[in-house]
Structure 1
Amino acid sequence: MQMNTERWVRVIAGFFVLASVMLGTPASPVFVSEWFLAFTLFVGFNLLQSGFTSICPLDRILLKLGVPGSGGCGR
């Protein structure tokens, strides 16, 4: 199965959320700063707005990098 932009957006957003929660939660063994939780908020906001507007910045970046489109996000 070939990865299209929609699948890449989900994978990248999921990775960023998990990484920023691990880096921003004081109980985590890899804690750096609580400010990493602001990045989690940023990713969540972008996912929410793309659900309502169908405008996904990461989708457009991936298309310019040559990743096959899915016909969904932003079209």
Structure 2
Amino acid sequence: MKNRIVRAVAGTFILISLLLAIYVNQNWLWFTAFVGANLLQSSITKWCLMEQILTKLGVKD
């Protein structure tokens, strides 16, 4: 369950930041890059802050 939530949050952040970049300011693409870099980092280190937050909120695997 945590995996699905993490992916859903990351996908939502990317889509929202792309929309903001199109309609508000292109600097929102930096947020898209940050989310992508965070996904890459978590795939390498197997550590994700969002997973820890979800664990503290009581979400089960």
TM-score (norm 1): 0.77
Who wins on radius of gyration, i.e. which is larger?
1
Which of 53, 57, 61 pairs up with 1:65? 57
- List runs of 5+ in structure 1 lacking aligned partners: 26-30, 70-75
Question: In structure 2, what is the Cα distance between the partners aligned to 1:61 and 1:32?
Answer: 30
1:9 is aligned to 6
Runs of 4+ in 1 over 6 A off after TM superposition: none
2:44 is the counterpart of 1:52: yes
Q: Which amino acid aligns with 1:39?
A: F
Bigger relative CO (Cα 8 Å, ≥ 6 apart): 2
Q: Which amino acid aligns with 1:65?
A: L
Identity of aligned residues (%): 48
TM-superposed CA distance for 1:34, in Å, is 1.1
- List runs of 5+ in structure 2 lacking aligned partners: none
| Root mean square deviation, CA, Å | 0.8
Would you say how many aligned residue pairs link Structure 1 and Structure 2? 61
